[in-house]
Structure 1
Amino acid sequence: MKKIFYVLLGICMLSCNSNEDTVEETSIQDLQPDKAYIHYVDRPTNNLNADWYYRFNYENGNLIKISGWLKGKIFSSDAYTYLTYQGNEAKISYSFDSDLTNVYTLQNNRPIKEVLYIQDYVQGTKTYTYENDKIKIYLKPTNSLSDYFVTYYFNPVTKNLIKSELLRKSQGTDVELSTTIYSDFDNAQNPFKKMGLVSDDLYEKSLSANNFRKKEVTVEQFAHPANGNVAMPPSTTIQELTYKYDSKGQVLLYYPL
């Protein structure tokens, strides 16, 4: 599992095809799952691999370590992602890439700024703004003409995501807009709540009270030199996420295969 700084919404996520069966429950203590198949976290596949799962460690209620990393078709259970906390700062580092570090500034346990470092050089920054039923994120990569603006919209009653918009601009002009509609929420607690700093996929999943099982993503490209000055009609893809649940209706991220 590696932080993907520039892919904010995981637009290319594949559909999940596992069966939504009820099986015996395993422990999701205080929304702190200790294991999860990569299929449910950030790498959906058609067939679950019994050996491909992440392991999570917590301390004082915070996620501090994730064991496991998939590169291409090779999964390593001995690769680690570390999270350390000091004051209002959280730092993410990786055993499999010592050059890469993400540093968050937190306020009320929520990120307000993120800085990506590669070999101690700043590669980009994100700033987070919180409004009523809305989160706005501005991403500025270093040495790039592009800026990225993300807005997440929430249902004020259910506290679940309704929609997100990712707008890419270049030199102040719109290049591309991706709109995601979230639906088919379950009634289960969200087991991803404490994982939101780790990756963009997990940030998106961590935001709601419950768990979305359908995403409808529409991408529109505008007439711009980056697009050959040709506008493209909107194209839409649908991704479905299928979970298993225990007898109490809670999500199972790991279970015997």
Structure 2
Amino acid sequence: MKKFFYILCIAGIFSSCDNDESTAIVDQELQPEKISAFIASFPKSYSSIDPRLTYKFSYENGLLKKASGKIMSPTPGITTFMTDPYCLFSYNNDKVSIQHSEVEANGAVKEVCTMENGKLKSRYLYNGIDVLFSEKNYSYQTDKIVVYEKQYTWEYFTTYLFDSNQNLIKSEKLEKSGGIDSKLTTTFYSNFDTAKNPFKKLYLCNDNFYEKSLSKNNYRTVDYTVQDLQNPQFPPGSGHSDWTYFYDSDGQVILTWQ
């Protein structure tokens, strides 16, 4: 298997649906065949990442059929980008099945998603022995998406908030363990461009692509705080990241380097 290694002192990669678009409109969105791993997943502070390493995508009748490329963190401080792992997408009415060639970072080998009016409604994750171990449910309100996830004894409540331009500006993720509040992560997204979002059709690939797909345009700055709710005497952790994008003559993001 072809593998590229990068050792990074990195706390984490922002992990990894469209808030108000119909299927007909989504079909008119960009269909990128390649996106640099650097552009997709790393802020500009990690400029040592080889920009030639890319995710690859293929489509059929406007639908995503295959996505190749995967970022892994096998141990703390070590991040690898692997070009060979892939996932295959199959469609049957309101269901989308995703088969991964390797176990994903979230533990899934297979995923089954249900759609309603062109929007993601639920996502079921299965392990290598085809046992359901995690479920996500999505609900929609004006300028808001709420995601509920249950995995074993852990529960996650994530709320995404949008501005009047249909861009994601804030998310709040509450983690519960055994029914007890454990951690709250608050994230702010800002510094939007005016380019089309190349991740609109890639939201089922991973959590990072899902968050990037939510906005009409592309955010270039992320600030977050993390509160330990079981130890409120501890000061919150925080982080800041900036992305640098380059644009073509039409004002759209250049997704790969030659």
TM-score category, normalised to shorter length:
0.7 to 0.9
CA distance in structure 2 between the partners assigned to 1:133 and 1:30 by the alignment? 21
CA distance in structure 1 between the partners assigned to 2:81 and 2:238 by the alignment? 31
Task: Find the residue that maps to 1:40 and give its secondary structure.
Answer: helix
Structure-1-length-normalised TM-score: 0.80
Structure-2-length-normalised TM-score: 0.80
Structure 1: tracts of 5 or more residues without a match: 1-10, 15-28
Q: Does 1:190 align with 2:197?
A: yes
Distance apart, 1:50 and its partner CA:
5.0
Distance apart, 1:94 and its partner CA:
1.5
Determine which of 86, 93, 96 is the counterpart of 2:102.
96
* Matched residue type, 2:161: Y
Task: Find the residue that maps to 1:178 and give its secondary structure.
Answer: strand
* Matched residue type, 1:239: S
CA distance in structure 1 between the partners assigned to 2:226 and 2:80 by the alignment? 31
Q: Indicate conservation of the 8 Å contact 1:13/1:239, yes or no.
A: no
Counterpart of 1:12 in structure 2 is 12
Q: Residues 133 and 106 from structure 1, CA distance in 2 versus in 1: closer, same or farther, beyond 3 angstroms?
A: same
Alignment of 1:189-208 (within 5 A): 189-208=196-215
Counterpart of 1:37 in structure 2 is 36
Q: Which runs of 4+ in 1 moved over 6 A?
A: none
Counterpart of 2:235 in structure 1 is 233
Distance apart, 1:74 and its partner CA:
5.4
Q: Does 1:147 align with 2:149?
A: no
Distance apart, 1:230 and its partner CA:
5.7
CA distance in structure 1 between the partners assigned to 2:38 and 2:99 by the alignment? 23
Root mean square deviation of aligned Cα:
2.1
Counterpart of 1:65 in structure 2 is 66
Task: Find the residue that maps to 2:236 and give its secondary structure.
Answer: strand
Counterpart of 2:20 in structure 1 is none
* Matched residue type, 2:237: S
Q: Indicate conservation of the 8 Å contact 2:37/2:51, yes or no.
A: no
Identity among equivalent pairs (%): 40
* Matched residue type, 2:55: Y
Structure 2: tracts of 5 or more residues without a match: 1-10, 15-27, 74-78
Q: Does 1:172 align with 2:179?
A: yes
Q: Indicate conservation of the 8 Å contact 1:186/1:211, yes or no.
A: yes
For this pair of structures, how many residues does the alignment match?
224
